[in-house]
Chains A and B, each alone.
Chain A
Amino acid sequence: MVNSGSVKPKSRESAVLVLEDGRVARGRSYGALGATFGEAVFNTGMTGYQETLTDPSYHRQVVIMTAPHIGNTGVNDEDAESARIWVSGYVVRDPARVSSNWRAKRELEDDLLDQGIVGICDVDTRALTRHLRERGAMRVGIFAGEHAGLSIDALLAQVRSSPAMKGADLTGEVSTASPYLVPAIGTCQFKVVAVDLGIKTMTPHRLAQRGIEVQVVPSTVTASEILAKNPDGVFFSNGPGDPATADGAVAVMSELLFARVPIFGICFGNQILGRALGLGTYKLRYGHRGINSPVQDLRTGRVSVTAHNHGFAVDAPRRGAFQTPFGLAEVSHVCLNDDVVEGLRLLEVPAFSVQYHPEAAAGPHDGAGLFDEFVDLMKAGR
């Protein structure tokens, strides 16, 4: 039921977007015809739609782009963050008719059609964004083509019977089926096991750029399997779903912390670390999805402009160290917009994580230094 779109339209047909609270937006079809469901979220990035669409963290989400023109630079063969589009639906205001970029290989809409992604265009995306800001993220359905002709009540019933994001365990749906290797660029300095909870292509690439050989492993991996590889460090990736369901990954994390293997986590990985430390996670009203958020490093006071994509966050004391089963830990980064925890650091065990995306695809590269910190941690661990 998640993604039943497959019919290619000859031209734009009518489409309707129905939110679980009954709000309706009418527009025209964009991409495939059919019906699709997911959690409605908005992304405020003005660039990077190709990266966004292919980011596994958006699995089961219907993404509303606040930038009005989408598709201007087409789709190329380099910028995808995984092998497929993951969003369950796409909402834009003004899709491009022709693309213009020297790297473009195809039009964006061709990819949406080929992959059966149902979308809607010509809707007031700003109104929807404001609605979600005030009411919080919620379930949504997009009905394009003949489905759009059904009564709103019937459509609303379908939306309300679709699964919610809270309590969703989605890791298994996005993780790689079998391990694969991303070789180091240049001389191999370190070996890292990366636990794929929905990993983006750019993350192993950023590690590889620093002379790290990355073995990406499925989310079902056990701590002993990881330790058997005798890695210099372990990386926990980003990914979709509710971290409260990720007991398996949390257990693996705990064991690795006991083993004092250097650990770096991003996004979902940050939430896993938080849970391993005994902290709670909670769902944000409408989440952080964009590439312009100020995050302060509490040690230096410096502010980075960062890429975000998270609907959940870790609940931890903002200032000062706190006790955990692994010794003292502290919140290392906060988002200055809303004081949400954006990073954790253990003071007695070599482990840290950030909620935002230093691999930055899409987004600014201000956080790139965190990969160097991971390298330093591994150096110190030798």
Chain B
Amino acid sequence: MPRRADIKSILVIGSGPIVIGQGCEFDYSGTQACRVLKDEGLRVVLVNSNPATIMTDPEFSDATYIEPITPEFVERIIARERPDALLPTLGGQTALNIAIALHKNGVLDRYGVEMIGADVNAIERGENRELFRGIVAAIGAESALSVICHSMLDCQSAAEQLGFPVVIRPSFTMGGAGSGIAYDETDLLRIAGAGLQASPTTEVLLEESIIGWKEYELELMRDRNDNVVVICSIENLDPMGVHTGDSITVAPALTLTDREYQHMRDVGIEIIRAVGVDTGGCNIQFAVNPEDGRMIVIEMNPRVSRSSALASKATGFPIAKIAARLAIGYTLDEIPNDITKETPASFEPSLDYVVVKVPRFAFEKFPNADPVLTTTMKSVGEAMAIGRNFGEALQKALRSLEKPEAIFSWPGDSAEIDVPDLLARMHRPHDGRLSLVQQALWAGATIEQVHESTRIDPWFLDQICQLNETADEIRSAPALDEPLLRRVKRVGFSDRQIGQLRGISEDEAREIRHGLGVRPVFKTVDTCAAEFAAQTPYHYSTYDEENEAAASDRTKVIILGSGPNRIGQGIEFDYSCVHAALTLRDAGYETIMINCNPETVSTDYDTSDRLYFEPLTFEDVIEIVYAEQRSGTLLGVIVQLGGQTPLGLAQRLKNAGVPIIGTSPESIHLAEDRGAFGRVLAQAGLPAPKHGTAMSFPEAQAIAADVGYPVLVRPSYVLGGRGMEIVYDDNMLADFLGRATQINPEHPVLVDRFLDDAIEIDVDAIFDGEELFLAGVMEHIEEAGIHSGDSACALPPITLGASDIERIRESTLRIAQGVGVLGLLNVQYALVSDVLYVLEANPRASRTVPFVSKATAVPIAKAAARVMVGQKISQLRLEGLLPTRGDGGTMPPGAACSVKEAVLPFGRFHGVDTLLGPEMRSTGEVMGIDDSFGLAFAKSQEAAFAGGLPTSGTAFVSLANRDKRAAIFPIMRLADLGFQIAATAGTADILGRHGISARVLRKHHEGRGPAGEPTTIDLIMAGEIALIVNTPYGVGPRVDGYEIRTAAVIKSVPCITTVQGLAAAVQGIALLRNAEATVRSLQEHARDLLKLRQSASGSVSPAELD
């Protein structure tokens, strides 16, 4: 059956901003789908609000809409584009939910759009728990005993029936949001209450506890000819009770017999048929009782998921790509296996290696969040590793996390370890449990004891025991000889671990190993366990006999990726790495990618000429460098695109004789070292806030006294503002240094004068050694002091004049020259009283590169990569990669305004203050683009928060004294627009003096009034507040503000915490009330910009417009 001829154009819905539970895996799947559909000659229309994605690059679709993913906006896109079909299964739960909404409200029918890949009934059957249980029962399989509840009363009687502990799962939420395990009545009230709230259908399921059972997952695909294949089996090392996204998982399943596996497979196939996933992929989770093998079907996702991205990377079988082909009518046997080319896709991959995925958490960013792992996903990213056995894959995965404490270590004497304490602490799953398991086993706990406490399968525990025994062997061996080293390397010990165990340095350990000729080889991920020859160079390292990486005589460039997603280092960096790979391949280089994040486009084997799925540690990288240097010419390694991870390796690589492409490690140091950078600025005559570097508390105190409070304090070398705070006096300074960071000569702390009331400006630029291309100038909407990653910004800048921008250009040029940049440069400025202070400069790709690329319609990461390998900006202008004239600093009059807004994970971490500060906490971003700032801002809010900005209702206002003056005008405007105003007594009094009548609400700590007058919190919780404006002063949770902001998160009420944000919101609300926002594709935006640029420069050439 060839592809359907009746589909000419197709709408693909993306998954929106990166949030916990819905990460960049959907950029990977969506990008694959768009590529495939375009290759098939279809007109591809894409909607996704997330500018940091590769999929929203204009070259991947015919019409790319960076617009809010809401039924209203998607309807407008459908009305303009009139696609024949809608593919909703590649954009996570977001896309699926929108597709259902568009079906239910009749839009799809009205415009004659066919939903392909899954139909609404199949989605309902897969996701509606009652229907799904019926299906499971009908095919003769088992579900956990459970009861559907629509109210708290239902929940209480159900819990009585099932007994505690009981599992609570809300319907139709992603990443298990709102679910949890209740051990008693109190837990039940809390979790079920939130769950009912989180479910769009006010429905939760209460279920018998199968905590501690073995957990498995199957990834299946089905085509329209009813062929079904299982792509991958995944086994969770963490037993039932931990969300699979937070679990350490292993592929393939390792502790099932064939009979049990085939039974699971049979049930899986019957489910995909009965649910009616006509074409495409789905994943199904199972629990197996380790005592008697009783198997329970937990749930299915009738779409491409995080697990299918993992399965694709784990097997080499590109699920999303195949799903897209199946959706347009192909059958599995008609699609060739990408890797073998000779054999078809209608088979089941066989693995001759083990894959381990480990989650990456960010609890350090959310000190009040509960780190216990439950059925609600809390991790922000993941790393995957491939090895020829479990031990090797696990140890590689743990070092891929870039968290030193996650790597197994054997310090001191195991006799001193308190085993009973560890056994008690490992009982409740949390980030770091595996280290406790390893330590306990090392100190003599038995496999039975650890199994009893954690329910982790004894086979895995024995594998960890073997690692411990190997460690003891390394320590006690008379010498590191070749057989020992080979044995040790085979189970994944790093040179660093070996060095630590032997009391020598990592480099010494490596020298010994190299001296003995113990080197890794590189194997291929080929889907078929070597049964057929692989055409795709997708490699991993191992210590085995045969090397498979083919020699090549081309000129090579290695690009280092950014590792697991974390707050502060996410998809934006992958974006730049992918662009470099694409453009350098076009320019004739052999591109080699190294990365360990399975969610990304960079780890798609199609992105580069070669992919090494490896940890980004010095050892792992240098071995690849050596292997690649054996043939062809290695031009060098690109370290400036993947964020801090590769940057941190730059100097060591250079010291080892590896050429670094682009800005040199010395120049990077010049920008990152405060003292050195201060000298650069002084030489260039550029002002910076007064600052100093302290190695002790008295030094920090002295600096603070010198520069004057408030000061910004942080450890040096950080990304995403880790451990950064604004402190207002000596006590707070002492508190910060005691609590948040180390301070000593190895770990100096930076103390900067904090500029109050500054306009913060973010700049991205490319410098080729001579010419500067000012790629984008972004003005933050919030004032300085809020981390740039968390604050909204606008491009072109909303209040800066041409002379300001010229000043910025000049300053940026001088910094680029002073530092010695070759490639990208990001500078943050603060404009205070007409003085342009330089806050910091980063000679690397920034988080804003993708946003700037889209807002200005210039592929700046590509241009930068070309500059790094020696091309000049002038050449790139001629080639057309950069605009012939002008740059991001000279946006023509009339250009559309783009707004970037951050998306924060507070909904996941109840009890965490939502107040923004210098520590970055957002997980993702959205972009709004429109003719005016107000509309662009309104769109960004619509895209970032459910419901967006309200256009009517009650606005509750509580202002810090210093903000009252500035806030009067926007609040007056809100009242004019028809909002009722409610306020705390003090704020209401001030408002009253300006003729704004406000209802006075009692503060939370005052409690209800004598006649039952409600408090602010009461009204928010009752859903009577549409908008909250709460600007706090200073830091530290002031009780009322904290309660208000927390209530806002629980009820999803927009909560504005700065006056600048209020002004922007009011502009947006005013425009939204008067006109409907229109939609426009990025391709149109680019054409408009070109026209405007040409008319601005007075030379319109019609030829250039097409």
**Interface size band for B:** 35 or more
Q: Are A66 and B530 in contact (CB under 8 A)?
A: yes
A100 near B532 with CB under 8 A, answer no
Find out whether the CB atom of B266 lies under 8 angstroms from the CB atom of A365: yes
Q: Which residues of chain B from 280 to 295 have a CB within 8 Å of any chain A CB?
A: 290-293
List the B side residues contacting A67 at CB < 8 Å: 252, 350-352, 529
Q: How far is the CB of A359 from chain B (nearest CB, A)?
A: 12
A73 to B214, CA, bound (A): 14
Who on chain A is nearest to B343 by CB?
Answer: A337
Whether the Cβ atoms of B354 and A69 lie closer than 8 Å is: yes
Q: Are B257 and A103 in contact (CB under 8 A)?
A: yes
Query: A93-B388, A126-B352, A126-B530 are known contacts. Are A72 and B255 too (CB-CB below 8 A)?
Result: yes
List of B residues within 8 angstroms of A51 by Cβ: 258
Known: A44-B528, A67-B352, A290-B350. A72 touches B546 (CB 8 A): no
Are A303 and B462 neighbours in the complex by a CB distance under 8 Å? Answer: no
Q: Which of B226, B258, B262, B293 has the most CB of A within 10 A?
A: B258
Residue of B nearest to A71 (CB): B459
Within 8 A of A (CB), among B323-348: 331-333, 342-344, 346-348
A102 to chain B, nearest CB (A): 5
Is A73's CB under 8 angstroms from B257's CB?
Answer: yes
Query: In chain B, residues 497-542, which have Cβ atoms closer than 8 Å to a Cβ of chain A?
Result: 523, 528-533
Do residues A336 and B333 form an inter-chain contact, with CB atoms below 8 A?
yes
B92 at the interface (CB under 8 A from A): no
- Is A100's CB under 8 angstroms from B457's CB? yes
Measured CB to CB, the nearest residue on chain A to B265 is A364
Distance in Å from the Cβ of B771 to the closest Cβ of chain A? 51
In the complex, whether A45 has a CB less than 8 A from a CB of chain B is yes
Per the bound structure, the CA–CA distance linking A76 and B545 in Å amounts to 33
A98 lies within 8 A of chain B by Cβ:
yes
Q: Residue A301 contacts which of B225, B253, B291 (CB distance < 8 angstroms)? A: B225
CB distance A336 to B344 under 8 Å? yes
In the bound assembly, the distance between CA atoms of A46 and B344 in angstroms comes to 20
Among B453-473, those with CB < 8 Å from A are 457-459, 462, 466
Contact of A68 among B225, B343, B389, B545 (CB under 8 A): B389
Please name the residue on chain A nearest to B466 by beta carbon. A97
Q: What is the CA–CA distance of A354 and B101 in the complex, to the nearest angstrom?
A: 49
The residues of B that contact A66 with a CB separation of less than 8 Å are 350, 352, 529-531
- B254 near A69 with CB under 8 A, answer yes
A129 pairs with B529, CB closer than 8 A: yes
* Known contacts A126-B523, A126-B544, A294-B333; A46 and B351 CB within 8 A of each other: yes
Residues of B within 8 A of A69 (CB): 254, 354, 389-390
Asked if B390 contacts A303 (CB within 8 A), the reply is no
A76 to B259 CA separation, bound complex (whole angstroms): 11
* Complex alpha-carbon distance, A66 and B389, angstroms: 12
Q: Closest chain A residue to B266 by CB distance? A: A365
Assuming the contacts A96-B459, A126-B352, asked whether A102 and B254 have C-beta atoms less than 8 A apart, the reply is no
Could you tell me which residues of chain A, from 348 to 382, have a CB within 8 Å of some CB in chain B? 360-365
Q: How far is the CB of A371 from chain B (nearest CB, A)?
A: 15
Q: Find out whether the CB atom of B545 lies under 8 angstroms from the CB atom of A124.
A: yes
Does A315 make an interface contact (CB < 8 A)?
no
A99 to B459, CA, bound (A): 6
A54 at the interface (CB under 8 A from B): no
Known contacts A66-B530, A79-B257; is-contact A129 B544 (Cβ 8 Å):
no
Q: Does B115 contact A (CB under 8 A)?
A: no
Residues of A within 8 A of B533 (CB): 133
Which residues in chain A, 279-316, are within 8 Å of chain B measured between CB atoms?
A: 290-294, 296, 301-303, 305
Are A127 and B546 closer than 8 Å at their CB atoms? Answer: yes
B333 touches A97 (CB 8 A): no
CA of A97 to CA of B389, assembled, Å: 13
A301 to chain B, nearest CB (A): 6
Q: In the bound complex, how far is the Cα of B532 from the Cα of A42, in angstroms?
A: 12
| Chain B, 552-605, CB within 8 A of any chain A CB | none
Considering the chains assembled together, what is the distance between the CA atoms of A305 and B348 in angstroms?
7
Return chain B residues, CB-CB under 8 Å to A231: none
User: Roughly how many angstroms separate A302 CA and B331 CA in the complex, as a whole number?
Assistant: 10
CB distance from B237 to the nearest CB of A (A): 12
- Shortest CB-to-CB span from B999 to chain A, Å, is 65
Query: B840-873: which have CB < 8 Å to A?
Result: none
Q: Decide if A278 is an interface residue (CB 8 Å cutoff).
A: no
Q: In whole angstroms, how far apart are the Cα atoms of A336 and B389 in the complex?
A: 30
Q: Indicate if the CB atoms of B257 and A76 lie closer than 8 Å.
A: yes
The answer to the question of B447 belonging to the interface, with a C-beta cut-off of 8 Å to chain A, is yes
The interface bits of chain A over 24-44 (1 if a CB of B lies within 8 angstroms of the residue's CB, else 0) are: 010000000000000000101
- CB-based contact B350/A94 at 8 Å: no
Which residues from B are CB-within-8-Å of A122?
490
- Which residues in B have their C-beta under 8 angstroms from that of A48? 257-258
Given contacts A127-B546, A130-B546, whether A78 and B529 have CB atoms under 8 Å apart is no
Q: Tell yes or no: B909 within 8 A of A by CB.
A: no
**Is B924 at the interface (CB under 8 A from chain A)?**
no
How many Å lie between the Cα of A10 and that of B229 in the bound state?
44
Q: Are B258 and A294 touching (Cβ within 8 A)?
A: no
Asked if A102 meets B343 with Cβ closer than 8 Å, knowing A126-B530, A365-B266, the reply is: no
For chain A residues 69-103, which have a beta carbon within 8 Å of chain B? 69, 72-73, 76, 78-79, 93-94, 96-103
A101 touches B255 (CB 8 A): yes
A290 to B257, CA, bound (A): 15
Q: Which residues of B contact A338 (CB under 8 A)?
A: 343
Specify which chain B residues have a CB less than 8 angstroms from the CB of A101 in the assembled complex: 255-257
* CB 8 Å contact bits of B882-909 with A (1 = contact, 0 = none): 0000000000000000000000000000
Q: Judging by beta carbons under 8 Å apart, are A73 and B255 in contact?
A: yes
Hey, what's the 0/1 contact readout for A112-142 against B, CB within 8 Å counting as 1? Answer: 0000000000111111011001000000000
Q: How far is the CB of B1 from chain A (nearest CB, A)?
A: 8
Question: In the complex the two chains form, is A133's CB within 8 Å of B530's CB?
Answer: yes
Chain A residue numbers with a CB within 8 Å of B255 are: 72-73, 100-101
In chain B, positions 300-326 with a C-beta closer than 8 Å to chain A are: none
Kindly state whether residue B172 has any CB partner on chain A within 8 Å: no
B984 on the A face (CB < 8 A): no
Give the CA-CA distance A305 to B229 in the complex, in Å.
7
A68 touches B546 (CB 8 A): no
Residues of B346-360 contacting chain A, CB below 8 A:
346-354
| A44-B529 in contact (CB<8A) | yes
Q: Which residue of B lies closest to A69 (CB)?
A: B254
- Bound state CA distance, A42 and B256, in angstroms? 21
Is A44 within 8 A of B544, CB to CB?
Answer: no
Residue A209 at the B interface, CB < 8 A?
Answer: no
| A102-B292 in contact given A46-B351, A68-B389, A292-B347 (Cβ < 8 Å) | yes
Chain B CB within 10 A, most for which of A25, A99, A303 = A303
A296 to B528, CA, bound (A): 18
In the complex, what distance in Å separates the CA atom of A291 from the CA atom of B258?
A: 10
Q: Are B530 and A130 in contact (CB under 8 A)?
A: yes
Given known A46-B252, A72-B459, A302-B225, contact A125–B352 (CB-CB < 8 A): yes
Contacts A44-B531, A66-B530, A133-B531; is A102 near B262 (CB within 8 Å)? no
- Report if B409 contacts A (CB, 8 A): no
Would you give the shortest CB distance from B292 to chain A, in whole angstroms? 6
For residue A349, give the distance in angstroms from its CB to the closest CB of chain B. 30
| Residue of A with least CB distance to B294 | A102
CB distance from A269 to the nearest CB of B (A): 22
Contact B389 A292 (CB under 8 A): no
Report whether A102 and B258 are in contact in the complex, using a CB–CB cutoff of 8 Å: no
Q: Is B945 an interface residue (CB 8 A)?
A: no
13 contacts between A and B (CB under 8 A): A44-B531, A68-B353, A72-B255, A101-B255, A129-B531, A291-B258, A301-B225, A303-B344, A305-B229, A305-B346, A336-B333, A338-B343, A361-B259
Shortest Cβ-Cβ A-B pairs, 5 listed = A48-B258, A127-B546, A124-B545, A362-B258, A66-B529
Which residue numbers of B lie inside 8 Å of A, CB to CB? 225-227, 229-230, 233, 252-259, 261-262, 265-266, 290-293, 331-333, 342-344, 346-354, 388-390, 447, 457-459, 462, 466, 490, 523, 528-533, 544-546, 548
4 extra interface residue pairs, beta carbon distance < 8 Å, beyond A124-B546, A302-B226:
A48-B257, A98-B458, A126-B352, A305-B347
